[in-house]
Amino acid sequence: MEILWFLIAMAMLAAVIVPIARRRAGGIRQVAPGSPDAADPAAYGFVRQEELDIRLPGPDQDLLDVLDVVQRTQEWRAAAQLLAGTPKEGEVRWQRVQAFAGAASLELQQKPGIGGSWLHAWRAEAPKDPGGAAVHAEFLVQQAWRSSAAGTDDFRIILEEARTVCAQAGLFAPGDPVPYITELAVARGLGYSHEQFDQLWAKIIDRAPAHMGAHLAALHYWCEKWHGSREEADRFATSAAARAPQGSLLSALPLFAVYEHLPEINLVRGFYESAVVSKAIEGALYAVQSARPDDPMLVHVRHLLVFFLVRSERWSEAMHQLVRIDGHVGALPWTLEGDPAAQYAVYRALAVAGYESNGGSPATLPR
């Protein structure tokens, strides 16, 4: 679900990295301004921190243009047209559905009662439009997880409505996996049994067996903090990676599984140099090297690789990822922080400092 938060208004981060921070405990040192290690990221052509785009993990200009039109005019038809022209079988449709839902949710948060009126009009004026139903279902999921405490009556009521709209969206767009992927968040919140989950997962696999976004959403379900266990989550991730077709990013799934369990194992000395992390990193590096350059999920893997490569002090490899993602920070792990741009900028500065302390320079970094 982490990608769902990329449109939330960001509060300033009180402390970027502290020992007790969620998922971030231990092991990373601060770079003091003016110190020999405080290398300048701008020398590498990196975007200034205040100019980093926190909305998306990577560029999607068509989406940004349509979002601008929709939010400026409160007219939904441009969004419907964009989704109608977005292939069902790929990852882009899922990301765009989330983006439109996130925009409506943020508008409602900023203007209670009237924000996101274009989505209400979309559903009222075109009740059987597949795109509108998919965005509405995702909107309800986001509202439940953002505005209500898990397990409360309000939380369950909103998710029950989301489940109903997911079913409608599935009927309006046969073959589209997005409504069922959205329902995975409902499964987490409502506590689907493993049998119920398996039935839902079968519908997704029938439609998009190698969908990376679906696997990431399913991984959350299997995590111990939801309904499975660390062992089940690891088994799910390694199994998906083992059967990943050539060029699939599913080989990177074990790295996401490791990240999901950092609160449990983060304090183990030398963890980031351990065989577990090294193997997961190598799988992710293999995935990005063999993936299509235009795979929309590629940037998600690269962002998480930066986190682990910096933590492992693999500076050169971290820099090779940074030059390919810099400019957008709407992805894990940055979006779990109050100020994603600040969190990303710290890791970027550490990578630059480490790279230069080992003889690297802008001239030696291949693009």
Q: Say how far apart CA 292 and CA 249 lie, in whole Å.
A: 9
What pLDDT does residue 366 have? 78
pLDDT band with cut points at 50, 70 and 90 for residue 263: low
Residue 336 structure tokens: 């779990």
The predicted pLDDT at position 151 comes to 76
Above 60 in pLDDT, residue 339? yes
- The band of 337, judged by pLDDT with boundaries at 50, 70 and 90, is confident
pLDDT greater than 50 at residue 363? yes
* Dihedral over Cα of 59, 63, 65, 67: its sign: negative
Q: How far is CA 83 from the centre of its chain?
A: 20
* C-alpha span between 107 and 101 (Å, rounded): 10
Q: Tell me the pLDDT band of 150, cut-offs 50, 70 and 90.
A: confident
Q: Does residue 62 carry a pLDDT above 60?
A: yes
| Over residues 319-339, mean pLDDT | 93
pLDDT, greater one: 210 or 148: 210
Residue pair 6/57 in contact by the 8 Å Cβ criterion? yes
Q: What is the pLDDT of residue 55?
A: 83
**Residues 363, 366, 367: CA angle, nearest 5 degrees:** 110
pLDDT of residue 212: 95
Q: Give the residue with greater pLDDT, 29 vs 220.
A: 220
Mean pLDDT of 320-326: 96
CA 283 to centroid of chain Cα atoms:
19
Across the range 205-228, mean pLDDT stands at: 89
- Report pLDDT for 26: 39
Residue with tokens 């080989």: 251
Mean pLDDT of the 90-111 span: 92
Q: Give yes or no for residue 35 having a pLDDT over 60.
A: no
Q: Which residues pair with 143 in a beta bridge?
A: none
pLDDT band at 345 (very low <50, low <70, confident <90, very high): very high
Mapping DSSP onto H, E and C, the string for 206-269 reads: HHCCCCHHHHHHHHHHHCCCCCCCHHHHHHHHHHHHHCCCCCCHHHHHHHHHHHHCHHHHCCCC
Domains and CATH numbers, the chain: 61-208 (1.25.40)
| pLDDT category of residue 299 using cuts at 50, 70 and 90 | very high
What is the overall mean pLDDT for the chain?
A: 86
> Does pLDDT of 37 surpass 60?
no
Region 330-344: what's the mean pLDDT?
Answer: 91
> Residue 266 — very low, low, confident or very high, per pLDDT cuts 50/70/90?
low
The answer, yes or no, to whether residue 13 has pLDDT greater than 70, is no
Q: What 3-state class would DSSP assign to 82?
A: helix
pLDDT for the residue numbered 229: 80
In terms of average pLDDT, the best of 28-32, 87-91, 214-218, 271-275 is 214-218
Q: Provide the pLDDT for residue 12.
A: 27
